[in-house]
A and B are shown apart, each in its own frame.
Chain A
Amino acid sequence: ILNVEQSPQSLHVQEGDSTNFTCSFPSSNFYALHWYRWETAKSPEALFVMTLNGDEKKKGRISATLNTKEGYSYLYIKGSQPEDSATYLCAFGNYGQNFVFGPGTRLSVLP
């Protein structure tokens, strides 16, 4: 079973702060990395699909980077808003295997 880690487990930020968190995954046989946003009482929804080393993706105030050689991805949120409060999940895809999810980072943005 592949080990996918996320840090921190949870964090609280003030509205307007920028923040980032990390997904760590095995650096061998990389195939794809996904980021999902999971709001309370809703379903997880895909934010980004990343496939190449050095990939950078952006959607509004949220962006992500990927380093497949060292096995990590960063998710950045600029100017956090209360509606950004959610659990952010990453999922690592390896050749020939199922996607493995990390435990998530729970973000709370305080107004």
Chain B
Amino acid sequence: NAGVTQTPKFQVLKTGQSMTLQCAQDMNHNSMYWYRQDPGMGLRLIYYSASEGTTDKGEVPNGYNVSRLNKREFSLRLESAAPSQTSVYFCASSERDMGAANEKLFFGSGTQLSVL
């Protein structure tokens, strides 16, 4: 039972470097999400994909891009990393379209990203 697999677990970048966070789920979920977690704040939605082939901005999309490669995979890219993007990133997936009453999120193990 892999669930949601997210890589890497840790990453240190210099300002201006780029990187891609990978996420894959094996639960045949339609919807996938990228969140960031900062101290004292709730999980904030960066981007989501309600179904294969669609992506939409969440609450804090600036500085990020995403790709829904297929139903299983949803990647998050930082084109030019900034110190403000230092955070813990979580990928998640859910069984139904976003907003369904019985939806619950399944999370990956998180990526601790530091931008110097």
Contact = CB atoms under 8 A, between A and B. Distances in A.
Contact of B42 (A51, A96, A102): A102
A21 to B, nearest CB: 14
B44 interface: yes
Dominant SS among interface residues on chain B: loop
A49 interface: yes
Chain B: interface size category: 20 to 34
B42 A98 contact: no
Given A1-B59, A43-B90, A43-B110, A34 B105 contact: yes
Given A43-B110, A45-B107, A49-B104, A97 B43 contact: no
A31 B101 contact: yes
A80 B73 CA distance: 39
Interface residues of A, number: 28
Contact of A98 (B48, B106, B107, B110): B48
B108 A32 contact: no
Interface of B: 4, 35, 40-45, 48, 58-59, 90, 98-110
Q: What are the nearest 10 A-B pairs in CB distance?
A: A101-B42, A43-B107, A46-B104, A101-B43, A51-B101, A32-B101, A103-B42, A44-B107, A102-B42, A49-B104
